[in-house]
A and B are shown apart, each in its own frame.
Chain A
Amino acid sequence: DIQMTQSPSSVSASVGERVTITCRASQDISSWLAWYQQNPGKAPQLLIFAASSLQSGVPSRFSGSGSGTDFTLTISSLQPEDSATYYCQQTNSFPLTFGGGTKVEIK
């Protein structure tokens, strides 16, 4: 199984700051990676697919990059509504696997 490792596990930043979350795959997954945002008690929401493609309706301050084994999710200017937990997920092969999550908090 492909292991997905996210870092940091939590981050605290001020409104307007740039936030970067990293995700590392245990083997080459090309660009087969998605990112999700999850608020407490809610289902995850798709942000990014194919490593860098923005899902329809997602604000442009979210962006994804990377390929192979190393990926990043960037929030260019953190907003209060971005306080949530973020997960990466590899879509390269079964079983589909997720990173452990990164909790983003507002200072």
Chain B
Amino acid sequence: QVHLVQSGAEVKKPGASVKISCKSSGYSFTSYYMHWVRQAPGQGLEWMGIINPSGGSKSYARKFQGRVTMTRDTSTSTVYMELSSLTSEDTAVYFCARDGGNIEARPRDYFDYWGQGTLVTVSS
């Protein structure tokens, strides 16, 4: 059974950074791309980027370029998302979400399993 378990809620001050983890189980970690999606309170969904857990390559949404870093640790089947220079507009629930296609092919770019979400609150 596929599970994506994320780290707990964070409270950060403006200008700080946050690093969220997403631990995978129940499938071959290196066989599926992983995405990050966020959702501000009462708002819609926003895609942040994708990482290849096998080779480590990534692609970020232009909006977050220069502020986001996605990494992975194959020894623990965990992906990480770090967001820097936080402002109040970064207050959101952050989700990791597994790509719907096997890594042998191009990413399907839809999300078949999601983490439970991590609330990041940015406040002075």
Q: Which residues of A contact B (CB under 8 A)?
A: 32, 34, 36, 43-46, 49, 55, 87, 89, 91, 94-101
Contacts and interface: CB of A to CB of B under 8 A. Distances in A.
Contact of B100 (A49, A87, A95): A49
A49 B108 contact: yes
Q: B interface, how many residues as a size bin?
A: 20 to 34
A44 B100 contact: no
A89 B47 CA distance: 10
A70 B109 CA distance: 19
B112 interface: yes
B114 A95 contact: no
Interface in B24-57: 35, 44-47
Given A43-B95, A43-B117, A97 B112 contact: no
Nearest to A6: B44
A46 to B, nearest CB: 5
A97 B44 CA distance: 10
Contacts of A46: 100, 110-112
Contacts of A49: 100, 108, 110
